[in-house]
Chain A
Amino acid sequence: MKTLLAILREIAGLFVDDGSLAFAILGVVAVAAFLAFVLKTSALAVGLVLLAGCAAVLIENVIRTAQRN
């Protein structure tokens, strides 16, 4: 049972280390999906939002972590 729990914890840890990073990535994808499926924005704009959003999330997270440490 302990082994199984450790494996499940490890699987979750594959994707979520810093919770705020995971949450922010999901936020960017949600915004891009909203633009694509609800507002029917042009595909290229959706792509740019996705790319720029992911880049911004990464930079912000690294800076915040550096300041905290």
Chain B
Amino acid sequence: MGSWATVAPAITSAFLASLVEVVEAFTVVLAVSTIRGYRPAVLGSLAGLVLLGLLVVVLGPILNRVPLNLLQIVIGILLLLFGMRWLRTAILRAASIISLRDEQLKFVQTTASLKDDALAHQARLDWLAGITAFKAVVLEGLEVVFIVIAIGAGHGLLIPASLGALAAFVLVLIAGIAVRRPLARVPENTLKFGVGLMLTAFGVFWTGEGLGVNWPGSDLAILGFVIVFLLIAVSSVAFARRLVTEIAK
């Protein structure tokens, strides 16, 4: 396992990124349980979790057979694609260029869609509700699995990253069961901003290592990259806001 300079960002990134994904999945599962009760929601979610578990069991051993340099390059590139996509979205949302995600709205949309299905397919509604919950858990869960593998593989950080993701899952489950409403107050864009920064920093670090770069300061370089991208992102938000205001005038 690496030093705290890599372990702490790994746990934090996995926790925060998973928090975003689990909140999104919870909104859909909650909508399903509101319309059709807990049975299809729980069964669909459990089926999704089983599928994700199988994927991890199958993918884990394969990853161990890939040469470290190749693994670092592939995962580094995937982290860059994933992290910079989140960072770009977070910057554009912070600059009010694209709209923020609204969990309450998503809940209303999913509920309405299930009600429409209820009219069209009354007999199969439990099945459709279960599939909706299953799909949400698999889609959002796949992102969590990727994040955990991307952060953890290649640096012996799979366990800390998994613990971060598990903590997010437990937290959302407890909060969700307590309030029984979409967790709309979770500051999703701020989380995406922070996670996008960390994943991009990890992506630069690992792609570089895969290409043979010995970064000055070793693992500490990751923190340096986080600061560099933070400055760039904050400046980009301010610049984009000004640009949009000027164009509007």
- Check B228–A55 contact: CB distance below 8 A: yes
Q: Which of A10, A46, A47, A57 has the most CB of B within 10 A?
A: A47
- Of A16, A26, A43, A51, most B-chain CB atoms within 10 Å: A51
Return A37 CB to nearest CB of chain B, in Å: 8
Q: CA A3 – CA B142 in complex, angstroms? A: 14
**What size tier do the contact residues of chain A reach?**
35 or more
A54 in complex: contacting residue of B84, B215, B240, CB < 8 Å: B84
Q: Which residues of chain B come closer than 8 Å to A57, judged between CB atoms?
A: 84
**What bracket does the count of chain B residues touching chain A fall in?**
35 or more
B92 to chain A: closest residue by CB:
A65
Complex Cα gap A33–B131 (Å): 43
Q: How far is the CA of A44 from the CA of B229 in the complex (A)?
A: 19
| Chain B contact residues, majority secondary structure | helix
| Residue numbers in B under 8 Å from A66 (CB-CB) | 92, 95, 97, 239-240, 243-244
Most A CB contacts (10 A, CB to CB) among B97, B139, B211 go to B211
CA distance A32 to B203 in the complex (A): 14
Partner of A33, one of B82, B211, B239, B240: B211
Query: Total A-B residue pairs with C-beta atoms closer than 8 Å?
Result: 121
B214 at the interface (CB under 8 A from A): yes
Which residues of B from 176 to 218 have beta carbons under 8 Å from A? Answer: 200, 203-204, 207-208, 211-216
- Chain A residues 32 to 69 lying within 8 A of chain B, measured CB to CB, are 32-33, 36-37, 43-44, 46-47, 50-51, 54-55, 57-59, 61-63, 65-67, 69
**CA–CA, A14 to B247, complex, Å?**
31
Chain B positions near chain A (C-beta within 8 angstroms): 73, 77-78, 80-82, 84-85, 87-89, 91-92, 95, 97-98, 131, 134-135, 138-139, 142-143, 146, 200, 203-204, 207-208, 211-216, 225, 228-229, 232-233, 236, 239-240, 243-244, 247
Q: Show 22 residue pairs from A and B whose CB-CB distance is below 8 angstroms, ordered by the A residue.
A: A3-B134, A7-B135, A7-B142, A10-B139, A14-B85, A14-B142, A16-B85, A21-B84, A21-B88, A33-B73, A50-B213, A54-B84, A54-B200, A58-B84, A58-B87, A58-B233, A62-B88, A65-B97, A66-B92, A66-B95, A66-B97, A67-B247
